[in-house]
Amino acid sequence: MKNSIRLSFLAVVGLLAASCENWLDVTPPSEIRAEDHYSSADGFQQTLLGCYIAMTDENLYGENLTWHMLDMLGRQYDARKNSAADDYDLDRYNYTSTKSSPVIEKVWAAAYSVIVNTNEALDYIDRNRTQLDSINYRIIKGELLAVRAYMHFDLMRLFGCSNLAGRSDLESRVTVPYVTAVEKEIAPQLSYAQTIRNLVADLNEASALLEIDPIRNRYPSDIYAEANVDHFYDYRQQHLNYYAVRALLARVCMWEGSPESLRQARTVAEETIAELKTLAGSGGSTQIVFTKADVVPTTHMCFPDEHLFALNVVNLEQAIATNLNREYSQDDRQYRTLCITNSIADNLYEIKGVGISDCRYKLLYHNVEYWPEGTKTPSKLYQTTSTGANYAYKDLLPLIRLPELYYMAAECYVRGPEPDLEKARALLDEVREARAVYEDLSPDLDAEGMMTEIDKEYRKEFICEGVAFYFFKRLGYEKLPRQSDVGLKSPVGDATYMLPYPEFEVQSGRVQ
């Protein structure tokens, strides 16, 4: 794997749908084959679909970049007790062990493989624009740009420095390569500032192209009829649609963290919230609203009504079976199952006070008939009920959800250039009420108190989604929840937050 990013065109995982298998394989296609593949909209749609399927791989969002590795690093679960567990070293931030290094290397390689595929398609989509109608051209290109930005952003968040806004040493440092073309030459490493500019540019272009996204319900449905003859555009929340791209742009601005970026993040988040509320009242086929609290613990475990972007992870039930297990033994708790103690969950969700009715707490399913006393395992991603029936929205794994827009806007009103704690409280209270937490936050909370509430919301809301670790890293937390359980000493810094570059990248001259 010494060539790393210099991978041949389409080295995608072998999970792909039958319609894509002949194209998205590990054999480098010839130029003639590429021209043939991209001679119609079908080829571009297949490549885009292949990218989304590749993102569901266990090395990416099907496991490690959501409910497993990242939530372990974000201290969303109890510490592993058994040193024989495959993820014991990762749980203790020992990234260079013989068990951890291969996991990290596979994340890097799988992410850049998706990027290579997007760049291949982006190269041809402008060459062959005359082969596409306007709808296909704009939506496919917009999504491809968004996928490229999504993957680069998460690579930078994983392998790059923490607390960008609070540091002055990053002006001369470079971060992960931002690859925009399929070439034999090694892509250069760029500064953090230039990488952020590339991310923003790709997402702004994607937003402009996706202005016509059917999810917005702004144009007559018949203008999409020809492009959507195969129903490729029916499930927009399983694509990087317009709203998901706007939310991702807000994420990027929050990560950069300057006053101007926080102002932009707040504007984007509030505009998106407002448009989604308008959409919900428009009677369109797609509505993105808060999932009703009374159905969350019964059929809507993954909050499907709130998905801005989710992946369909085929056989998710099998993927989580070992680690998120209803009926685990005491040995499982130490060795396999990802769980938390009753006391941690009770304190976090404040069940002895305002959180007693919090529907998110009910996701921490606890069946005393089977489970060791005092522990819970998160059930957000469970696929079957205790009676054996399938939950609704099977195999959906959310990557961006509606509450994050509220949390980002609220944080900007606390930490941004035009602070307004009253607006921040109102945004948080709206989410809390949707979660059946009916007591409003105290109007006496100061900025520090408000950030404490935002911290708690991230930890409550995004369990099994890999979000908490990024929140702590973005803000440069010097102490993580229950870090003493895994031997971490304060202050926590980049040694904990930065996954190391794979050895084959270091040998190729990469600098971290």
pLDDT 10s digits, 99-156: 999 999 999 999 999 999 999 999 999 999 999 999 999 999 999 999 999 999 999 9
The answer to whether residue 69 sits within a structural domain is: yes
Distance of alpha carbon 188 from alpha carbon 242, whole angstroms: 30
The whole-number pLDDT of residue 367 equals 63
Q: Quick: pLDDT tens for 320-333.
A: 998 998 777 777 77
pLDDT at residue 8, rounded to an integer: 32
Question: How far is 398 from 56, CA to CA, in rounded Å?
Answer: 11
Give dist(CA 378, CA 178) in Å, integer.
Answer: 35
pLDDT value, residue 371? 57
In a domain, residue 100? The reply is yes
| Count of the separate structural domains present in the chain | 1
Q: Which H or E run contains 396?
A: strand 396-401
**pLDDT (average), residues 415-427:** 98
**What is the predicted pLDDT for the residue at 196?**
97
Does residue 388 form part of some domain?
A: no
Expressed as residue numbers, the domain containing 264 is 4-311+396-507
- Domain harbouring 120, CATH code: 1.25.40.390
The answer to whether position 135 is within a domain reads yes
Peptide bond into 259 cis (omega under 30): no
In the chain, the percentage of residues whose pLDDT exceeds 90 is: 79
Give the C-alpha separation, 370 to 191, whole Å. Answer: 52
Residue 169 is predicted with a pLDDT of: 85
Residue 369 has pLDDT above 90, yes or no: no
Helices (H), 259-307: 259-280
Residue 473 lies in a domain: yes
Please give the pLDDT value at position 329. 75
| Mean pLDDT for the chain overall | 91
First to last CA, the chain: 18
DSSP state letters, 351-366: TTTGGGG-TTGGGS--
CA distance 157 to 111: 13
Tokens of 199: 């991310």
Question: Does position 284 have pLDDT exceeding 80, yes or no?
Answer: no
Q: Which pLDDT band holds residue 511 (cuts at 50, 70, 90)?
A: very high
Give the pLDDT band of residue 373 (cuts 50, 70, 90): low
424 within some domain = yes
Compute the distance between CA of residue 111 and CA of residue 154 in angstroms, rounded to an integer. Answer: 9
Q: Tens of pLDDT along 239-272?
A: 999 999 999 999 999 999 999 999 999 999 999 9
- Grouping H, G, I as helix, E, B as strand and the rest as coil, residue 191 is strand
- Side chain identity at 369, as an amino acid letter? E
Reported as half-sphere exposure (CB side, CA atoms, 13 A), residue 334 has a value of 6
CA distance 177 to 179: 6
Residue 334's pLDDT is 79
pLDDT band at 26 (very low <50, low <70, confident <90, very high): very low
* Stretch (H or E) spanning 201: helix 192-209
Contacts of 321 (CB under 8 A, 6+ apart): none
CA 428 to chain centre: 21
In a domain, 373, yes or no: no
Residue 356 in domain: no
